[in-house]
Amino acid sequence: MSPIQIVAATGCPTGIAHTFMAQEALEQAAERLGVSIKVETHGQVGIENALSAAEIAAADGVIIAADKDVNAARFNGKRVVDVGVKAGISRPDELIQEILSGTAPIRGGNPVPAAPEPGEKAGEDDHGLFGDISVKPGGKFQARDLYKHLMNGVSYMLPFVVGGGVLVALSFLWGIYSADPKHPEQYNEFAAMLMAIGGTAMSLMVPVLSAFIADSIGKRPALVVGLVTGLLASNGGTGFLGGIITGFLSGYGMLLLAKLLDRLPKALGGLKAIFIFPVLGVFIFGSITYLIASPMKAINTSLQDFLSGFQGTNPILLGLIIGVMCAFDMGGPVNKAAYVTGVALLGSGNFYFMAAVSAACITPPLVTGFAALFFRKAFDEKTRDAAYVNFALGSTHITEGAIPFAARNPLLVIPILMLSSSISAILTFLLQVQVPAPHGGFLVLPVVTNGLQWVAAILAGSVIGGLIYGYAMQRRANKTQATPVETEKEVLV
């Protein structure tokens, strides 16, 4: 008779000490109790001693001693002892006894093969293309899961915004019309190329956000659907809020679809992954997105009419409306409505309105930059660097720079940005600033009437917003440290 075989996975947020102490403790306990054990470690250097699907299948039980995600869905259907990493260190014998005595509960859900985590090395058995879709184990649904999925999308989106935004900003150095052959005095081929490349990178932002929210929820089958629906939403003019919606729709929608198709005969398994999921998924959720996105044009037009009706009204009220609209979705239908109205009014000689719109559009990225400057410790290094890049993006009217910050925490950040943009817009009205150019940020200062006042108005809104946002993030950071959760990607150590 072969000895009892146990597999285990250990992991901790830092991935230096406890992960490996738990491994050692479990191995020693196994030796004392005469059972065989293999411990997979999820450390700072990645996954080591990875468990293969065959080893998991052959195991009599599983011990998870981890304070981070160790991809537990692959253990579905086995007896699993699921505890924190410290229990693995302090009472390894008890954990093994739970397996031996058969008191450990069987983990719900169907077994699913290991799928590689983003940025981590795959286990030995990467079933890849034909891997089945991951079904939520045990049906436990937690708010922090939502946050984790959202953050996954945001972290993939961020480099697109930075890379694209900086290239577009650079193209403005030749003048704000440098990419437009209709303006031969400024047109420059290299600038036009920068603009085309940067614009393409930025246009991928919303699809990538949607795709990787979906991927985090439903793995590869959902990624496809999330990417397509994200691009549909983006083309439909929904902005990044639409991308968040399509990401969750595609992710959870595909989980549901997988559940519904669970009863299909096993023989169709391969067909499911390569044919049924992509065709049905893209059709169903693509259609839903198409229908949701179609009224965007109408919303946009009616908002423009609404806003035009307000020109010449009380400057404080108008500034407030413009600020709220511009910061609401940063490139979505509401923001676009304000922007397009501003451009239209330029044609009729009203340069005050555009000044306020530009101020409200420049402010959000600057808010994130100032927040990171004032509250360094509230942001991890990567986020902080992106926030500093936002000084350049904001100064050149690339509002999108603020999107990754807003997307990770929309309910908190968007109101703060609205307030900041409103302050900037109201002050711009009160200080009688006129901006005759539709884009370019501070690069058009030479043609701005009351340019200094304009900069002061924008800085006022941005600094106030930066203080509020930074303070809010710091409080959040302190709270997160008190309760270690799924933050390993963002706040290591």
Partner 1 sequence: MSNILAPENISLNETAASQADVFQLIAEKAGELGITADTGAVVTGLAEREKQGTTGLMDGIAIPHAKSASITDAALVVVRLRESVEWESLDGNPISMAISLLIPEGEAGTTHLKLLSQVARTLIKPAVRAQLLAAETPEAVVEILGQHVVTA
Residues belonging to the active site: 12
| CA–CA gap between residue 231 and residue 224 (Å, rounded) | 11
Residue number, 66 or 417, with CB nearest to partner 1: 66
Residue number, 145 or 380, with CB nearest to partner 1: 380
Q: Phi first, then psi: what are they for 265, rounded to 5°?
A: -60, 145
Question: Does the protein bind partner 1 through residue 16 (CB under 8 A)?
Answer: yes
CB–CB of 420/462 below 8 Å?
yes
Question: Does the protein bind partner 1 through residue 82 (CB under 8 A)?
Answer: no
Question: Does the protein bind partner 1 through residue 484 (CB under 8 A)?
Answer: yes
Question: Does the protein bind partner 1 through residue 93 (CB under 8 A)?
Answer: no
Q: How far is the CB of 417 from partner 1 (least distance, A)?
A: 28
Considering only 51, 56, 70, 89, the residue that binds partner 1 (CB under 8 A) is 89
Question: Does the protein bind partner 1 through residue 268 (CB under 8 A)?
Answer: no
Both tokens assigned to 302: 């009616």
The Cα-based distances of 400 to 168, 227, 322, 395 in angstroms read: 12, 19, 17, 12
Residue number, 25 or 231, with CB nearest to partner 1: 25
Question: Does the protein bind partner 1 through residue 381 (CB under 8 A)?
Answer: yes
Residue number, 19 or 171, with CB nearest to partner 1: 19
The Cα-based distances of 129 to 63, 133, 265, 397, 475 in angstroms read: 28, 10, 19, 42, 42
CB–CB of 240/203 below 8 Å?
no
Residue number, 70 or 228, with CB nearest to partner 1: 70
Question: Does the protein bind partner 1 through residue 144 (CB under 8 A)?
Answer: no
Question: Does the protein bind partner 1 through residue 19 (CB under 8 A)?
Answer: yes
Q: Token pair 């003048």 is at which residue?
A: 175
Total interface residues for partner 1 by CB under 8 A: 28
Amino acid symbol at 375: F
Q: How far is the CB of 9 from partner 1 (least distance, A)?
A: 16
Residue number, 31 or 305, with CB nearest to partner 1: 31
Residue number, 67 or 132, with CB nearest to partner 1: 67
**Which parts of 327-366 interact with partner 1 (CB under 8 A)?**
none
Considering only 3, 31, 32, 45, the residue that binds partner 1 (CB under 8 A) is 45
Considering only 3, 17, 128, 183, the residue that binds partner 1 (CB under 8 A) is 17
Considering only 86, 163, 442, 459, the residue that binds partner 1 (CB under 8 A) is 86
Q: How far is the CB of 491 from partner 1 (least distance, A)?
A: 9
Q: How far is the CB of 60 from partner 1 (least distance, A)?
A: 24
Q: How far is the CB of 144 from partner 1 (least distance, A)?
A: 15
Q: How far is the CB of 375 from partner 1 (least distance, A)?
A: 14
**Which parts of 462-481 interact with partner 1 (CB under 8 A)?**
481
Question: Does the protein bind partner 1 through residue 1 (CB under 8 A)?
Answer: no
Both tokens assigned to 93: 């014998």
The Cα-based distances of 296 to 331, 346, 407 in angstroms read: 13, 24, 20
User: Which residues contact residue 385 at a Cβ distance below 8 angstroms, ignoring those fewer than 6 apart?
Assistant: none
Rg of the chain over Cα atoms, rounded to whole angstroms, equals: 26
Binding part of the chain for partner 1, among 21-29, 202-210, 246-254, 463-471 by CB under 8 A, reads: 21-29
DSSP states along 204-216 = THHHHHHHHHHHH
Question: Does the protein bind partner 1 through residue 489 (CB under 8 A)?
Answer: no
Q: How far is the CB of 24 from partner 1 (least distance, A)?
A: 4
Question: Does the protein bind partner 1 through residue 129 (CB under 8 A)?
Answer: no
| CA–CA gap between residue 481 and residue 190 (Å, rounded) | 47
Q: Which of 257, 248, 81 is nearest to 150 (CA)?
A: 248
Q: How many residues does the chain have?
A: 493
| CA–CA gap between residue 23 and residue 45 (Å, rounded) | 15
Q: Pairing relation of β-strands 46-48 and 36-43? A: antiparallel
CB atoms within 10 A of CB 480: 14
Half-sphere exposure of 190 (CA within 13 A, CB side): 3
Beta bridge partners of 65: 10, 83
Q: Cα 169 to chain center, whole Å? A: 23
Q: How far is the CB of 486 from partner 1 (least distance, A)?
A: 13
Residue number, 25 or 104, with CB nearest to partner 1: 25
Q: How far is the CB of 370 from partner 1 (least distance, A)?
A: 21
The Cα-based distances of 309 to 300, 304, 306, 312, 425 in angstroms read: 14, 9, 5, 8, 17
Question: Does the protein bind partner 1 through residue 18 (CB under 8 A)?
Answer: yes
Angular region, 433: left φ>0, alpha ψ -120 to 50, beta rest: beta
Residue number, 39 or 133, with CB nearest to partner 1: 39
Question: Does the protein bind partner 1 through residue 83 (CB under 8 A)?
Answer: no
Residues that bind partner 1 (CB under 8 A): 12-14, 16-21, 23-25, 28, 43-45, 67, 84, 86, 89-90, 377, 381, 481-482, 484, 492-493
